[in-house]
Structure 1
Amino acid sequence: MGRDIDYFGENLVERLGLIRRIRKMCLAKNTETNERDRGTLSQATLWSLLLIIDMTRLRKIASDLEEDGDAKEDTLFRLPEVADGVQEMVWYCKPHAPNSFQFFYLLINRYLVTKGPIFELGDEEMINRNASLARAACQRLVDISTARYRLLTIRQVLERDGMHCVLTGHNNPEVCHIWPFWAVNRKDQADDSLKALALVFGMERILELREKLADKESNTVEKPGNMITLSGELQRLWEEDFLALEPIGPVFKPAHVPTTSSTGEEGTAKETSTPANRAKNDPKEGLREKASDRLMEKKKERDAEREIMHIEGVKLRFHWLKRTTHESMYSILGPDAELNPRKMWKDWEDNIVVHDVDGRPLENGHVLGIFPTSQAEAPDMEILRLRWDVLRMHALTGGADPVLYAPDDDYEDGRRVSVDRPKKVRALEALKDNQTEANNH
């Protein structure tokens, strides 16, 4: 399958009909919304979100908006907050200026790939092998045991994924975080953004994500379930939102658990006297035979269970993410705007192509399975699903620089600070100029 294949499936017609109904209610002038809210709901952000959420939840939103009452008021009140949460998620999923933790991961990852697994980590000198960069990385480590844990985690992920890129098979891969490592110190902010998405993603899903990504006691971000190995080229394209991995469900393989031996029981069966004769001659022997038979049946049942035991992994589908002609999530979609994304795809850039280890181009629809080992769990389905959703929304709205969506308040290490973002200001000014120029034409 080539790049012309998209992820909308056969229900796009129904989905677009529901989106039209929802937008009609959101943009209508009524007492439930003010002008500012209607401006937010007319942006491409809401449109992209409605294109990717579950159909059951999309139908419910449309139904709630078309019925007068508390459900309608609550939905109209919360949707602008949802739009803000979406934009912040795009910001979080984009890796930003690397910190010393990321330098540590980069250093150790490359050391393991190029020199093989380290089976015995000695002291800090082992980590400081690469001079100043390693020392700078270690300055923020709590102690050597933390460094040891992170090194071990990277090694476990590499071994789980076969020491190569899971998509291309190339050696010397990078160990990539699914939920970016830089956001680990912004759990308060991530928690607020996730809570805002409960209306469209469902409370159960959001509670699970909050526990994994926003709980201050959780270190999910640093576990193998939040990591995957990609070639350096694919890592860059993933960070730039040109590709995504769709979690399509669990996948199983035999666990290869050895069955128990029945040598002892077979030896007993070679006795010359039959169970019936022994039971007739000795009643106690008959009881023992019955007990032995029951034990034999239980062993057979256990052996059968072991033979069908499976290891559960995660099944992923690869996608190149085409972008639309929208400039950003702030693009305004009027009441009569085109809503079908298939009519607004940008041409694919010819230079974006990746080949696997056999020289074949990596194409849409490539399916792979990643299985856990005794040391490393498979990539987490819910974290993968969140990134899959966020990357699609970003591509659907044109793939603009995520700095546009950076919050004005940051929560570095839990401290709320006001952040000067000149790059964001310049990007917004350029976007405004482009829109003015387009309107003049």
Structure 2
Amino acid sequence: MALLDRLRTREATVGIIGLGYVGLPLAVAAAKAGYSVIGFDVDASKVERLYARESYIEAVSPDDLAQTDHLCAWTVDFEQIATCDVVVICVPTPLNQHREPDLSFVEDTARQIAAHVTPETLVVLESTTWPGTTEEVLKPILAQSGHALGRDIFVGFSPEREDPGNATYRTQTIPKIIAGDGEAAQALMEAFYGAVVETVVTVPTPTVAEAVKITENIFRSVNIALVNELKLIYDEMGIDVWEVIDGAATKPFGYMPFYPGPGLGGHCIPIDPFYLTWRARKFDVPTRFIELAGEINTNMPAHIVHRTREVLDRAQGRGLNGAKLLLVGVAYKKNVSDMRESPAMRLMQLFEEAGAEVSFIDPHVPQIPQMREYGIFEGRAALDPGRISDAGFDAVVIATDHDAVDYAALLELGCPIIDTRNAMAKRGLPMDLVTKA
């Protein structure tokens, strides 16, 4: 097959659709492997920044862009799909307002591909979705191209496994699950991804690969919900859940530590489990365990607000109405700027609905960007950390434990600190003003 030969000799052109946290690192990795790359996005500002060698994602540095710019082109012109030998879909798969899967981005992208794709092209879906999407959604749309699937157009699924802020595992070093729709597609998947990443793990079908990704994130969601519930139980017993976890983590087998927090963030864990619960309804299969985990994790911001109200009442004899709060960290996890599904935004919303005045500091987020939700906060700027001593805060709430925060300076404010991440204790700081929540 000519396409297989072009993949093996790195003569193929690779199109990456969606230049976000998944697509941009993959585009750079493919270019580093020697492929010519065309990156597609509907956001023209991203294209402009990439041509200026300006990265908007921590996983891709300006040096990465400089090293690969001779192999990369960035565009909003989807007609250029016709020049690609491989097309990889890396677009969002959010939930709608009813917490049901929204595949509109995948479907719209697939229609663009169908309109422009040429014979001997491999089309790969990387967006996380419910098991069966490749077979039931992607393939029927691609069939509208008029090209025969499995002969002219080859289809596969390979779930993204990006972990923003993880310096140990990058796109090239994370084992890559792949599955082609048929033997020919599988061979093409192996040739392409085998050139881009260090380790390829083949599973039998795209549906299995889709289920692998969902399973990974449900595993995390359920275990985080478990420790969040344990935190509530142990708090009532006067037991520090962080000390319990540290003790349990010394067992070299049969235990894996997970840690509580103010809720779930990122694109994967808060969203992906609901893709399976939605899909399971088609088969009349209950998903009580998964739904309970989602309920516990979704309710954590409300618990933090309740604890903050209790702390203020105990320390100052007041509630949240009119209180001045400092929220420390608004990114969804430490040491990144990623705001997707950040529980800090829900905290800010709940605090302000209760009448509090909320300011925030975050060394990675100078101002709140445009988000699918929480539009009322867009553009709100972070407070200069050097000015927090003059603001007269009634309480501090640590939502994200960035390393670059001066935690000792928080103590100098002299007000109660509600710590959802165990940040103060981990740094050996005095705990007189600190409440773990």
Q: TM-score range by the shorter chain?
A: under 0.3
TM-score, normalised with respect to structure 1:
0.22
Structure with greater proportional helix content = 1
State the TM-score, normalizing by the size of structure 2. Answer: 0.23
